[in-house]
Amino acid sequence: MDPIKILTANIDKPNSTSIDVYLEGGGYEAARQALQMARDDVIQLVKDSELRGRGGAGFPTGTKWGFVPKNAPRPTYLLCNADEAEPGTFKDRVIIEKDPHLLIEGMIIAAWAVGSNPMAYIYIRGEFHYGSTVLNKAVAEAQARGFLGRNIFGSGFDFDITVHRGAGAYICGEETGLIESLEGHRGEPRVKPPFPAVVGVFGGPTVVQNVETLACVPFIVSKGAEWFKSFGTPRNTGPKLYCVSGRVKRPGVYEFPMGVNLKELIYDHCGGITGNRQLKAVIPGGASAPMLRPEEIDLPLNFDALMKAGSMLGSAGIIVLDETVCIVDAVWRLSKFFAHESCGQCTPCREGTNWLESILDRIERGEGRPQDADLLLDMSDNIGGKSLCALGDAAIGPVISSVQKFRDEYLHHVSHKSCLPGTTRYRRLDMPVAAH
Amino acid sequence: MADLHPDNPYQKDRFPDPSKKVEFRPEAKERFEWILTRYPTREAALLPTLHLAQEEWGWISPETVHYVGSLLGLSPATVFGVVSFYNMYNQKPVGKYHLQVCTNLSCMVTRAYDIYEHLCDKLGVEPGQTTRDGRFTVGEVECLGSCDTAPVVQVNHDYHENMSLEKMDELLTKLK
């Protein structure tokens, strides 16, 4: 499969963030067109395109828009989730930093379709300071042209965007955590139902969409649902950004029609494994996704195929681990991340993620017990599905899959009190570890 | 006051000192007023106001917590709850250069821990500490969303990508 340039069409142009460059490429025509359509027709078009959310869950976007009640007592809000914090994921950053007007145009169309109030928010993670300055500049440019503000494009529709910076919390990428955070609270996810489409931010119906999802929308409006569906396979349609990192020769963001083969992506497009070593494991969809063994990677990277393989496409953050990586150490690092980022609301996740980290650390240090591998599975069973949001479920993904698929390596640590020969531990064990 | 555990938030220096007055400069005040116009509730302006305060003073002191609370009509406890939830609000003063090394998986397998340990050794600090001259604070940070250019070190707001020990040393000499 050959790479394509749709979502990334502008990123290599000089001065790609400027509105003039964006307009030269036909920018904002789709927004103009959408504002002349009936709202329901825009929603139907997005439904027909079979676009699924690119943030991780893969929920059909048009269906989500259709959930927004027509005559809610409070204003409807559109929020863009630019809190890209899933380890291994860096696709939204490319759009934010290189083609911000594509995102703004997508937001205008989405806002029109769902009947948004005149203010929408881009919730960008605090660490993307440069990205937020690019977005602020782009918003100001769009305001100056009358594309944002009152009566945009002379349509009578008032719509503006505020860039809201987060402050370093992975959980704010969860949609109700994001909503809480935007309201000025600790980013602790809410009980669902009510779902955000009914009661979300500031008490109004709320649609939260990922950056890449919104970036797809202008193309659906300008080129049609059939064109969009010509990429990928039924139910897994459209162009898709894949992020590849870890032990590959050419890491980066790659755009393909949805469903590029994982093996082909790693070996042909990314040049194979660093140092021509053997592959050990691939995490196909960000840190939360269960890992795959080398014999499992001959599959298309789309929502359904990965789910069938027992993993998930998630945010399409592909982390490649070669034969020299100690699996226990790698999983420890991911568990440390989840323990750090657990918001602390639900006991199974708050306590469980810390215990997973501690047990993995003790195995790595050669202090593991023979029953530890099973203990990890047992504890995971007491975390998964037992908390308000999906962070607990995400935390157990790498643990369960690695114990099931690399049990030998776990047992080796226990019996030999050391890593498997030929694998590396990347950290010094005497370094103090910061408290969560 | 008896010695409290260092993690205990009720330290002596956590209580605001009435002799230390904090107030936004006129430009920051103007920025604050603009922030208020962008949200339907005053409370929603809390995160941006804290960012603004941190830009002004480098960290969020107990006095700042009270000041921001008074601006937005929130209790100091509410403001402190938010400050302590989010990583980016510094609850202690940090050095002129805040060096944060991403050590999450993609950075780890490209040897980020070597850089992190090297920085601690070379500057003679433990993780989270600031050098005596107040120039550098070293810390570990979670995924910065730049895994293709791993390892990544964030210095204040800026990302330094594809780092190595040599590039780190070179960078340190540039940061005066």
**Which letter, b or e, does each residue of A325-351 get, where b requires 16 or more Cβ atoms within 10 Å of its Cβ?**
bbbbbbbbbbbbbbbbbbbebbebbbb
Kindly report whether the global pTM for this prediction surpasses the value 0.90: yes
Residues pairing with A160 in the sheet: A119
Q: How many CB pairs lie under 8 A apart between chains A and B?
A: 165
The closest CB to that of B154, out of A127, A162, A325, belongs to A127
The predicted pLDDT at position A428 comes to 87
For residues A213, A219, A224, A230, the Cα torsion angle rounded to the nearest 10 degrees is: -70
Work out the percent of chain A whose per-residue pLDDT is above 70: 99
The CA distance from A260 to A270, in Å, is 13
In the chain, the amino acid numbered B88 is M
Q: How confident is the model at residue B10 (pLDDT cuts 50, 70, 90)?
A: low
Min CA distance, B21 vs chain A (Å)? 24
The predicted pLDDT at position A359 comes to 97
Mutate which of B74, B84, B147, B165 to disrupt the A interface (most A C-beta within 10 Å)? B147
pLDDT at A316 over 90: yes
Q: What is the pLDDT of residues A424-435, one digit of tens each?
A: 899 888 877 665
Contact A432 B7 (CB under 8 A): no
pLDDT at A436 over 70: no
Min CA distance, A323 vs chain B (Å)? 11
Contact A434 B140 (CB under 8 A): yes
The predicted pLDDT at position A61 comes to 97
Min CA distance, A397 vs chain B (Å)? 15
Contact B88 A187 (CB under 8 A): no
- Using an 8 Å CB-CB cutoff, list chain A residues near B140: 434
Contact A167 B48 (CB under 8 A): no
Work out the percent of chain B whose per-residue pLDDT is above 90: 85
User: In chain B, whose CA is at the least distance from the CA of A435?
Assistant: B7
A310 and A286 in contact (C-beta within 8 Å)? no
Min CA distance, B153 vs chain A (Å)? 12
Q: Which of residues 35-64 of B touch A (CB under 8 A)?
A: 38-41, 43-48, 50-51
The verdict on B91 touching A (C-beta cutoff 8 Å) is: no
Q: How confident is the model at residue A70 (pLDDT cuts 50, 70, 90)?
A: confident
**Residue A106: in which H helix or E strand, if any?**
helix A100-114
Q: What is the pLDDT of residues A229-248, one digit of tens each?
A: 999 999 999 999 999 999 99
Mutate which of B106, B125, B155, B158 to disrupt the A interface (most A C-beta within 10 Å)? B106
In the chain, the amino acid numbered B96 is K
Mutate which of B148, B157, B159, B160 to disrupt the A interface (most A C-beta within 10 Å)? B148
The closest CB to that of A184, out of B43, B112, B159, belongs to B43
The predicted pLDDT at position B7 comes to 60
Please report how many Cα atoms fall inside a 13 Å half-sphere around the Cα of residue B143, on the Cβ side.
32
The closest CB to that of A167, out of B47, B120, B148, belongs to B47
The CA distance from A275 to A18, in Å, is 40
| Contacts with A282 (C-beta within 8 Å, 6 or more apart), sequence order | A262, A266, A291, A292, A294, A297, A318, A319, A320, A321
Least confident of A164-178, A399-413, B3-17: B3-17
The CA distance from A158 to A168, in Å, is 31
- Using an 8 Å CB-CB cutoff, list chain A residues near B113: 426-428, 431
- Can you tell me the mean pLDDT for A102-112? 98
Min CA distance, B134 vs chain A (Å)? 20
Q: What is the CA radius of gyration of chain B?
A: 18
